[in-house]
Chains A and B, each alone.
Chain A
Amino acid sequence: MSTGLYTQLLDLACGAFLLAAVIVLWVRELTAIVRVFALQGISLAALAVLLGGHEHRWDLVGVGVGIGLLRAGVLPHLMRRALAVLTADRQRYGTAATETRETQPLINVAASLLTAALLTLLAYAVARPLTELHPTPATRALPVGLAVVLIGFFVLVTRRRALSQVVGFLLLDNGITATAFLATSGVPLIVELGVSFDVLLAVLVLQILTTRMREAFGTTDIDDLRELHD
């Protein structure tokens, strides 16, 4: 693969990765958010496969394929199932929409989009000294990973539905993984496997927690958890 084509494809994968994070902030339907998250998983996998192919490290390609299966296949499937459970018994009352939409985030959508712009600029400013240490196409894309970390954190802080918080957590993790790939061409295989299982378990636990929350309170609105601390 020629260097020019590699750079182009890497930039394209990074652009899609960042764009998916931004679109998660933009849309309200949880099903659409899960779909966008799956697309982000695909672009992350493409990133890993590209890096592995460029440096002829086949273990990295394997890790990339594994990440693609986990983040574009398994995790979205789990979230979709949680969503189906949440709305299953509400279909006949026509109130399913209140559970499947992020109707009122703490910060409105226009303001959170502008915040995402500021966070991206912050990521570029912070990553500048790191990029200058060893400027290659991969390290130059490092701010993209940091920006997704920040945006994921922002989603985690401002969204109210339990499932969109899960998506925020996973965005954060996607960002960390992308930063690891771009900065060091991938962490050792065993660490990557550990992190992946950790994420999978976290999502499983959160899925059960979400279902329990809905059974206890009738909603997954995080604000209702205020009742808990006394």
Chain B
Amino acid sequence: MSTAVGYTAVAGQIVVVGAGAPLLTGWMRQVRARLEGRAGAGVLQPWRDARKLLRKEPISPVGTGPAFRTAPALLVATTVVAAALVPLLSTDTPVSGHADLIVVVALIALGTLVLALAGLDTGTAFGGMGASREMTVAALVEPTILLSVFALSIPAGTTNIPAIVHGAVDEPARLASPAGLLATAALAVAVLAETGRIPVDNPSTHLELTMIHEAMVLEYAGPDLALVELGAQMRLTLLLGLLSSLFVPWGIATSPSWAALAVALVLFAAKLTLLGAVLAAAEVFWAKVRLFRVPELLAGSFLLALLAVTASYFLSGAS
């Protein structure tokens, strides 16, 4: 009985992230369009785009190798595995023992890496430039993600994400401490940078001076492009889900029961809808940071994460 619920929870997480990611992107675009006074294309538009792209003939540029061809599949695969591990709906799943923080961050980094390799493989100027920029950002973002979650893992005494979330549900005071607040801010900036949202990268332009993520995937077309876009959307959903699980953990099922799982599913959808709306509304008011100022922003968020860890270790950890 309990294993059935557990496997359902894992499958549910994958399906929610996979099917919900385009909807989340569509929702964010819709919110943004309404705030800017446009009608918007509707929440379902990313799915329509994907259907259109999937019907096209697969084409790859002359002279590209296996790194280019396997990258979209690998990107989606790493994200799916990470989605199965991170406790989005339930902390009590058959795989929760393996859901270590370092594994999850490594899976996310692997997705970034294969895409950068694909950008290099095309041999075009934009691909190389995008890959180099993406690696610059990633080198600063990955330590920030690790450190900001370490700040929460010190009171829990483990780097196992389900255990951290379970502990936070039992003891909400952990999150209201200075360490928790600093870690929230640091992880939020890191998530924005990792998913290429507005202060770091603008997902809706193809201006060569500024683009990071779009520069790497410029050569993709047809079904491959659909996969790359799905992968990017899934990463956004996954990382926002991770943020909400770590800092607003209430509602996540901690015991194997069908009712708790259903509640968790509804609350997860509500949390992500709210988070997406807030992010989209914030993006209307923010301007993109100049590329040379991005390391400054990321160094700041790294410092916040480091302060969170030291505060968590020295102020309350020793008591």
A binding-site residues for B, Cβ under 8 Å: 4, 7-8, 11-12, 14-16, 18-19, 22, 26, 108-111, 113-114, 116-117, 120-121, 124, 131, 135, 137, 140-141, 143
Contacts and interface: CB of A to CB of B under 8 A. Distances in A.
A12 B310 CA distance: 14
Given A14-B178, A22-B303, 11 more contacts: A8-B176, A14-B311, A15-B307, A15-B315, A110-B295, A114-B299, A116-B303, A117-B302, A120-B307, A124-B314, A135-B318
A11 B307 contact: no
B182 A8 contact: no
A124 B313 CA distance: 10
A117 B302 CA distance: 9
Contacts of A7: 316, 319
B177 interface: yes
A192 B70 CA distance: 68
A117 B310 CA distance: 10
Contacts of A14: 178, 311, 315
Nearest to B298: A110
Contacts of A22: 300, 303-304, 307
B36 interface: no
Nearest to B315: A11
Contact of A113 (B181, B299, B316): B299
A117 B306 contact: yes
Q: What size tier do the contact residues of chain B reach? A: 20 to 34
Contacts of A114: 299, 302-303
Nearest to A141: B315
A108 B179 CA distance: 27
B173 interface: yes
A71 B289 CA distance: 33
Contact of A11 (B178, B296, B299, B303): B178
Interface of B: 173, 176-179, 181-182, 295-296, 299-300, 302-304, 306-307, 310-311, 314-316, 318-319
A113 B186 CA distance: 14
B310 A113 contact: no
A209 B295 CA distance: 36
Contacts of A4: 173
6 contacts: A11-B178, A15-B178, A15-B179, A15-B311, A22-B304, A114-B303
Contacts of B176: 8
A131 B317 CA distance: 13
Nearest to B295: A110
B64 to A, nearest CB: 35
Q: Which of B296, B302, B311 has the most CB of A within 10 A?
A: B311
Contacts of B179: 15
Contacts of A131: 314
A110 B299 contact: yes
A116 B310 CA distance: 13
A113 B318 CA distance: 26
Contacts of A111: 299
Nearest to B316: A11
A120 B299 contact: no
B177 A11 contact: yes
A124 B316 contact: no
B300 A113 contact: yes
B303 A109 contact: no
A141 B178 CA distance: 12
A26 B181 CA distance: 18
Contacts of B319: 7, 137, 140
Q: Which of B177, B295, B303, B316 has the most CB of A within 10 A?
A: B303
Listed from nearest, the 5 A-B pairs whose CB atoms lie closest are: A15-B178, A110-B299, A113-B299, A110-B296, A11-B315
Contacts of B182: 15, 19
B279 to A, nearest CB: 22
A52 B319 CA distance: 22
B302 A8 contact: no
Contacts of B318: 135, 140
Given A11-B177, A11-B316, A12-B178, A19 B310 contact: no
A124 B312 CA distance: 12
Contacts of A120: 306-307, 310
A15 to B, nearest CB: 3
A117 B295 CA distance: 15
Q: Which of B176, B295, B307 has the most CB of A within 10 A?
A: B307
B148 to A, nearest CB: 13
A183 B76 CA distance: 54
Given A15-B178, A109-B296, A110-B296, A117 B303 contact: yes
A137 B306 CA distance: 20
Given A8-B176, A114-B299, A117-B302, A19 B315 contact: no
A137 B318 CA distance: 10
A76 B173 CA distance: 34
A118 to B, nearest CB: 9
A211 to B, nearest CB: 32
Given A12-B178, A140-B315, A19 B307 contact: yes
